[in-house]
Amino acid sequence: MPTGVFNVKLHFAEFYLTQRGQRVFNIVINGTTVYPNFDIAGLTGANTALDETFVVSAGNGVIAIQLVPVTGSPKLSGIEIY
């Protein structure tokens, strides 16, 4: 991707687990934790969509997104970069 500043919108929805704390993970973009202890069900409850947008720099032409597990397995429903 070209060098520059971009919005990274991550789309989430919890359709399997129903209780807060069952799926918790850290969102890391380009080596920086941008959202620690992210818990989809804890923020919205079950069966509800949630979007989080982060402003990031692609100085080397790369945007690296990592979901680092804290409890359970991380889950991501979609990615937009604009």
User: pLDDT for 32-57, tens place per residue?
Assistant: 999 999 999 999 988 999 999 999 99
What are the strands of the beta sheet with 49-57, ordered from one edge?
49-57, 5-13, 78-81
What's this model's pTM, rounded to 2 decimal places? 0.92
Domains defined along the chain, listed by start: 5-81 (2.60.120.430)
> If pLDDT is split at 50, 70 and 90, which confidence band does 61 have?
confident
Q: What is the CA radius of gyration of the chain?
A: 13
Mean pLDDT of the chain: 95
User: pLDDT for 1-12, tens place per residue?
Assistant: 788 999 999 999
